[in-house]
Amino acid sequence: MRAVRYYGKEDVRLEEVPAPELLPGTVRITPAFTGICGSDLHLYFDGPIPPAPADSPHPISGEQLPVVFGHEFSGTITEVGEGVEGLAIGDNVVVEPLMVCGQCPPCNANRYNLCEKMGFIGISGRGGGLAEQIVTEQRFVHPIGDLPLDQGALIEPLAVGMHAVKHAGVVDGGTAVIGGAGPIGLLTAAILKARGMRVVMSEVSAARKDIARSTGVADLVVDPSEQDLPAVVREFTDGVGADVAFDAAGIKPVVDALLASLRPGGRLEVVAIHVSPVELDLTGQLIMGDKVIGGSIGYANDHVEAIELARSGAVDLSKFITRKISVDDIVEDGYKRLRDHGETEVKILVHM
């Protein structure tokens, strides 16, 4: 079968590899669409970083580079292994692309996104969405019913936003501020809107501001390079401030502005990965406002809820698909386009 394999920095190859073996408790899936994620771009342009197994085999998959790429994908079941229940040939599904040990304290507490040995299908081994077939364990396969397969490829990033919203303890209603209108910021905003929140989106890119407006996920879009975000939020909330804020940008000025936009007792949820430490005035920015900072990573037990949100129409994932490309064009029309023109794209989907 054909598959895209990741060898290292700026080195992916579409090549023939053996089809995976169907084992008890697993299903065989023909991937339909695979989304390109920010982590894929980092791996492609910057080289392997954990959990990509560059120097030694991954502790769960046992694989080293090269590995099949692609962790945000949808597909159709074509074969069912012994002992599998609740899934059938012909089911359209998405895969929660985690590999976990099932033995460490976080796994035992059902917080498997924090597994001490955690890896990702499509990054750490065990195949990926950029292949003509993948075999994966039943536990992480979720039927999507009548949700179109292209939209299904966005369930994985939607689940990231779902986990962040739940982790932040958001209740229906109120006002949220989001820093950064990339894919995670936009999808988090869509979830908040579905829960009856008023959403203020902070973004400097003109193209991304337009996307936030055109998709309808923000009630107000603010350019913090031209406007005082905390002042705008206070005016928008009749002087109160936002109930919750989400950092989907990953830079210190956004963190500072979001903290200043919160009401007393408000919460900042950090979803973005920060590549540099952030210095905070804990007394002035946090303690004197009785505020809370939390951080969320990935997802655990969030895919089913994300699927239902999309199937119900409360979140229209079709709005966030900006391009579909062939696997043969993945470098030029996928990775390089997102690097050079990423501000005009939300999610580029790849089909085999």
> Rounded to the nearest 5 degrees, what angle is found at the Cα of 271, between the Cα atoms of 304 and 94?
25
Beta bridge partners of 13: 5
What mean pLDDT is predicted for residues 146-155? 98
| Cβ atoms of 4 and 352 closer than 8 Å | no
d(CA 125, CA 131): 12
CB-based burial of residue 146 (10 Å sphere; 0-12 exposed, 13-18 middle, 19+ buried)? exposed
Q: Does the pLDDT value for residue 57 go beyond 90?
A: yes
Q: Does the pLDDT value for residue 171 go beyond 90?
A: no
Beta bridge partners of 292: 267
Phi-psi region at 62: left, alpha or beta (left = phi > 0; alpha = psi -120 to 50):
left
Q: What are phi and psi of 331, to 5 degrees?
A: -75, -55
Identify the band that residue 200 occupies on the pLDDT scale cut at 50, 70 and 90. Answer: very high
Q: Does the pLDDT value for residue 37 go beyond 90?
A: yes
Q: Is the pTM of this model over 0.85?
A: yes
Task: Check residue 71 and give its pLDDT.
Answer: 97
What mean pLDDT is predicted for residues 40-65? 95
Identify the band that residue 295 occupies on the pLDDT scale cut at 50, 70 and 90. Answer: very high
Identify the band that residue 235 occupies on the pLDDT scale cut at 50, 70 and 90. Answer: very high
Task: Check residue 125 and give its pLDDT.
Answer: 97
Task: Check residue 275 and give its pLDDT.
Answer: 85
Q: Does the pLDDT value for residue 174 go beyond 90?
A: yes
Segment 261-289, tens digit of pLDDT: 999 999 999 999 998 999 999 999 999 99
Task: Check residue 172 and give its pLDDT.
Answer: 82
> Percent of the chain, pLDDT > 90?
97
Exposure letters 248-277 (e unless 16+ CB within 10 A, then b)? bbbeeebbbbbbbbbbeebbbbbbbeeeee
